[in-house]
Structure 1
Amino acid sequence: MDEQLNPQAKPVGAPEPEPIRWFGTSWLERGSGYWARRVAVPLGALVAVAAGALLLRFAVAGVQDSSAGGFVYGLLVAAIGLCSLLSGLRMWKLLSEGKPALTGWMTEEKSLGAVWLIGFAGALFAYFLRSLAEAPGEAVKRAEYDRAVAAFDRRKTGQAARSGNPKRAKKRR
């Protein structure tokens, strides 16, 4: 009866969408400031990338000014580039396919914590690129929500209603 009076009201037990950072649950209906956030988030991510690159530049300049030599300087630049690449790939996969898709070297291992920390600029850049296409992580959250709604609808219509007890099952003849 509540559904007839208020079409926006959800039935009891209906799945709720999970919020996305900076977007909340506005990604579902794409309302209440969604498009303003879709412009602000990439700009903020780009500013963060620029600040991170500047910070890394100061760190590399400190090594370059020391008497460590060109080999150490080149090694540091290569290490930062590789860490940024790996961290960016990991962030892209995380935002586009979700946490279960992280396998192998991309998992949450403590031994790779330094790689993810050093490569933060690559992760921020991947976040920026992903935010140009959608709210970062929206595709994953939308797929999860659609599966939950479909399962709820099946239960609601009785298609998946089983007791699980084979003694109660009707015998076919």
Structure 2
Amino acid sequence: MSDDNGTPDPAAGPRPEPIRFFGTSWVDHGNGYPARRIGVAVGSLAAAVASCLVLRFAYDGLRLADTSSFLTLLVVVMFAVCSALAFRHTWDGFTKRPDPERQASLRGLLAIGFVGSLLAYFFRALVEAPGEKLHREEYETAREQYEKRTARRSGNPRKQQKKKRGRS
């Protein structure tokens, strides 16, 4: 940072985008990165287990209410399908940026299938920080572009033109 206000120094180049729960520790795998990955994995698995327990109580409530077996089956299938779709959508979101319009239209489905999203976080945290691959690719591309831009410029072009005119 170039000043107390947090204004980025333009000469420093691109900055890595922080990832939820990891900040920018994913860049060099420092600052407690392994512990954070373990914490995210354990936390998301614990949340998924707790969520399944709550869904089990809801299922028991449907059975106690003596609803039709068709309605009970419909609720179970709805949660299973929504969880599978949420898992896939969350998993894909770790490797490519989701379309904001599609994300908004799927918000309800993703809320119902929250168990799938939690499981996607768990499995991805076993391999890397969720979203690390996407962020790393974007960051490296930005660094390469920055290096190319700064390598081409070697000072003020006006001074170079004056030097060339002075030699002739």
Q: Structure 2: how far apart are the matches of 1:53 and 1:145?
A: 37
Please show how residues 1-173 of structure 1 align to structure 2 within 5 Å. 12-100=11-99, 107-110=102-105, 112-158=106-152
| CA deviation after TM superposition for structure 1 residue 96, in Å | 2.3
Q: Structure 1: how far apart are the matches of 2:41 and 2:66?
A: 39
Tell me the secondary structure at the aligned position of residue 94 of structure 2: helix
Report if the CA contact (8 A) 1:17-1:28 is conserved: yes
C-alpha root-mean-square deviation of aligned residues, in Å? 2.0
Report if the CA contact (8 A) 2:44-2:118 is conserved: yes
* Runs of 4 or more consecutive aligned structure 1 residues displaced over 6 Å after TM superposition: none
The one-letter code sitting in structure 1 at the alignment partner of 2:149 is R
The one-letter code sitting in structure 1 at the alignment partner of 2:146 is F
The one-letter code sitting in structure 2 at the alignment partner of 1:113 is R
Deviation string, structure 1 residues 55-110 (Cα, Å, up to 9, x no partner): 1111121112112111111111011100100111100000122325x89xxx2234
Q: Structure 2: how far apart are the matches of 1:86 and 1:46?
A: 18
Q: Structure 2: how far apart are the matches of 1:43 and 1:122?
A: 15
| Structure 2 gap ranges (5+) | 1-8, 158-168
Deviation string, structure 1 residues 142-163 (Cα, Å, up to 9, x no partner): 001001000000001108xxx9
* Structure 1 residues 79 and 138: CA distance shift in structure 2, 3 A: same
Q: Structure 2: how far apart are the matches of 1:36 and 1:109?
A: 32
Q: Structure 2: how far apart are the matches of 1:152 and 1:116?
A: 37
Q: Structure 2: how far apart are the matches of 1:151 and 1:57?
A: 52
Report if the CA contact (8 A) 2:40-2:121 is conserved: no
Report sequence identity in percent. Answer: 39
State the TM-score, normalizing by the size of structure 1. 0.78
Q: Structure 2: how far apart are the matches of 1:113 and 1:28?
A: 30
Q: Structure 1: how far apart are the matches of 2:70 and 2:16?
A: 51
| CA deviation after TM superposition for structure 1 residue 11, in Å | 7.3
| CA deviation after TM superposition for structure 1 residue 113, in Å | 2.9
Tell me the secondary structure at the aligned position of residue 70 of structure 2: helix
The one-letter code sitting in structure 2 at the alignment partner of 1:109 is A
Q: Which residue number in structure 2 is paired with residue 3 of structure 1?
A: none
Tell me the secondary structure at the aligned position of residue 27 of structure 1: coil
Q: Structure 1: how far apart are the matches of 2:144 and 2:108?
A: 41
